[in-house]
């Protein structure tokens, strides 16, 4: 069972770099397909926006796995290289490492502990 996810979103391609943006997009899809096949992630889904402001929100990807798997993915040279390439050809690229399932309780406990240590009561 997955206890974490990577949420990656992006906006419109940078003007004049549309073809390169598609090349990077396809490379990312191939990368995620390989990760899934090799058992390095549990699942991967891609969503393209079909309505709304596609300049700021063109779509997103959700990659699922356990915390250690996804940390290894994010820390890998290949992921970091693809991310740098994406920033060169697409606007508004964001990556968020998220927790789910039993990890949510751990995340909330860290938050409560930090608030207590800082003396934040409200």
CA-nearest of 115, 122, 97, 118 to 4 is 97
CATH number of 4-118: 3.30.70.100
pLDDT per residue as tens digits for the range 44-88 = 999 999 999 988 999 999 999 999 999 999 999 999 999 999 999
pLDDT value, residue 47 = 97
Token representation of residue 2 = 């997955």
Pairing between strand 59-65 and 43-48?
antiparallel
Give the domain ranges of the chain.
Answer: 4-118
Decide if 70 contacts 6 (C-beta within 8 A): yes
pLDDT per residue as tens digits for the range 91-104 = 999 999 999 888 89
Q: What average pLDDT does the segment 9-27 reach?
A: 97
- Edge to edge, the sheet with strand 43-48 lists 43-48, 59-65, 4-10, 94-99
In the block, tokens 């191939």 appear at 30
pLDDT value, residue 113 = 95
């Amino acid at each position: 069972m997955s206890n974490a996810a990577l949420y990656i979103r992006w906006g419109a391609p940078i003007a004049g770099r549309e073809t390169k943006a598609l090349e990077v997009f396809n490379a990312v899809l191939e990368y995620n397909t390989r990760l899934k096949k090799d058992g390095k992630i549990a699942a991967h889904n891609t969503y393209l926006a079909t309505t709304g402001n596609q300049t700021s929100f063109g779509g997103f990807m959700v990659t699922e796995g356990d915390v250690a798997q996804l940390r290894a993915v994010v820390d890998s040279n290949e992921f970091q290289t693809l991310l740098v390439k994406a920033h060169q050809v697409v606007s508004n690229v964001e990556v968020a490492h998220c927790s789910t399932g039993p990890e949510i309780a751990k995340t909330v406990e860290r938050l409560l502990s930090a608030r207590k240590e800082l003396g934040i009561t409200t």
